């Protein structure tokens, strides 16, 4: 199976519709919906990309492994060790090496995998710091306990929402940022770089608000798949990611209609 690389979208009919909306100075909600609709195929195909699958697997299994007595074995399989738990930065660096190492084993990385990697590391950085003491450097035990905190349905739902919000925004911005430059300048949609940046920040916030739909179903999926049915494998994780992308696209449309 080849590696999924983003990049075909700007030539598609749906992408030309996004460009037309920018030229017509359509509201942000309409542009966000059209961008999500145009990128849905690539995001759905990303679930079949090996590097993306590896990152998605970490999202789901890392909290479970953190509460397992075999956590050190899990870290060893990733090429990490207990020393990577001496700080959040060390943990993120270790996970980054593990993801890069898996891409190397595959022969190359992928755009989808790189976007997912960045989203996962950012999500863990933010969510872990919210769960750890702020006055003193956390201990390895505290970091592990914070990771294990995401193994509940509610904990996983928060982490999953953050991950998909960042991933979706990064995916939309991957395309839009290149096109927005063509609509910046005197007499254009954005008269200055500051206006364009403000639009991108508004899109980021809109994407985060839209991602609430993921939080609403992720906890239930986690509880059913992991704890009730004990039926967690890569195929189940792939179905989860595809469903998340589909739900997000539909939610963009619902929010546009309600605006």
Who contacts 229 (Cβ-Cβ below 8 Å, separation ≥6)? none
CB atoms inside a 10 Å sphere around CB 109: 19
What does the pLDDT read at residue 10? 54
Say whether pLDDT at 157 is over 80.
Answer: yes
Q: Could you tell me the end-to-end alpha-carbon distance of the chain, in angstroms, rounded to an integer?
A: 41
Residue in 45, 167, 178 with CA at minimum distance from that of residue 117: 167
Domain holding 96, by residue range, is: 9-258
Does residue 50 form part of some domain? yes
CA distance 91 to 87: 6
Say whether pLDDT at 194 is over 90.
Answer: yes
> What is the tens place of the pLDDT at every residue in 40-62?
777 777 778 899 999 999 999 99
Say whether pLDDT at 196 is over 60.
Answer: yes
What does the pLDDT read at residue 104? 73
CA distances to 55, 106, 223, 234, 242 from 47, in Å: 10, 16, 21, 10, 6
Confidence of residue 14 (pLDDT cuts 50, 70, 90): confident
What does the pLDDT read at residue 29? 92
Across residues 24-28, what is the average pLDDT?
A: 91
What does the pLDDT read at residue 137? 87
Does residue 58 form part of some domain? yes
C-alpha triplet 127, 132, 135: angle, nearest 5°: 130
Does residue 3 form part of some domain? no
CA distance 166 to 136: 28
Does residue 4 form part of some domain? no
In the chain, pLDDT over 70 holds for what percent of residues? 93
Q: What are phi and psi of 205, to 5 degrees?
A: -65, -40
More confident residue, 30 or 14: 30
CA distance 204 to 196: 12
Confidence of residue 17 (pLDDT cuts 50, 70, 90): confident
Does residue 121 form part of some domain? yes
What does the pLDDT read at residue 9? 45
Across residues 154-165, what is the average pLDDT?
A: 97
Does residue 1 form part of some domain? no
Q: Which residue shows structure tokens 């696209």?
A: 249
Say whether pLDDT at 6 is over 60.
Answer: no
pTM of the model: 0.90
Q: Which residue shows structure tokens 């891409």?
A: 103
CA distance 94 to 91: 5
Across residues 206-218, what is the average pLDDT?
A: 96
CA distance 105 to 102: 5
Say whether pLDDT at 4 is over 70.
Answer: no
Pair of tokens at residue 3: 């590696």
Does residue 2 form part of some domain? no
Q: Which residue shows structure tokens 């080849």?
A: 2
More confident residue, 105 or 151: 151
What does the pLDDT read at residue 38? 79
Per-residue DSSP letter, 246: H
More confident residue, 119 or 246: 119
Residues 57 and 34 sit within 8 Å (Cβ to Cβ): no
Task: Report CA torsion sign: 64, 66, 72, 76.
Answer: positive
Who contacts 89 (Cβ-Cβ below 8 Å, separation ≥6)? none
Across residues 1-29, what is the average pLDDT?
A: 71
Confidence of residue 35 (pLDDT cuts 50, 70, 90): confident
Question: Which residues partner with 248 through β-bridges?
Answer: none
Does residue 94 form part of some domain? yes
């Amino acid at each position: 199976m080849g590696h999924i690389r983003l990049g075909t979208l700007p030539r598609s009919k749906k992408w030309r519709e996004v460009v037309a909306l920018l030229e017509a100075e359509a509201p942000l909600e309409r542009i966000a919906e059209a961008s999500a609709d145009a990128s849905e195929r690539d995001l759905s195909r990303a679930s079949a990309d090996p590097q993306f699958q590896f990152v998605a697997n970490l999202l789901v299994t890392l909290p479970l492994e953190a509460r397992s007595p075999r956590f050190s074995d899990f870290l060893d399989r990733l090429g990490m060790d207990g020393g990577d738990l001496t700080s959040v930065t060390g943990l993120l660096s270790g996970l980054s090496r593990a993801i890069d190492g898996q891409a190397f084993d595959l022969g190359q990385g992928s755009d989808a995998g790189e976007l997912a990697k960045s989203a996962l590391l950012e999500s863990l950085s933010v969510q872990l710091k919210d769960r750890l003491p702020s006055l003193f450097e956390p201990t390895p035990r505290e970091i592990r306990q914070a990771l294990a905190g995401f193994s509940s349905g509610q904990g996983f739902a928060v982490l999953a929402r953050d991950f998909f919000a960042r991933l979706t925004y990064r995916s939309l911005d991957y395309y839009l940022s290149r096109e927005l430059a063509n609509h910046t300048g005197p007499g254009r949609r954005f008269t200055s770089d500051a206006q364009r940046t403000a639009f991108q920040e508004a899109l980021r916030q809109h994407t985060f608000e839209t991602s609430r739909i993921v939080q609403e179903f992720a906890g239930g999926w986690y509880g059913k798949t992991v704890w009730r049915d004990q039926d967690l494998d890569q195929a189940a994780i792939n179905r989860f990611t595809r469903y998340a992308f589909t739900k997000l696209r539909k939610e963009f449309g619902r929010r546009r209609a309600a605006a």
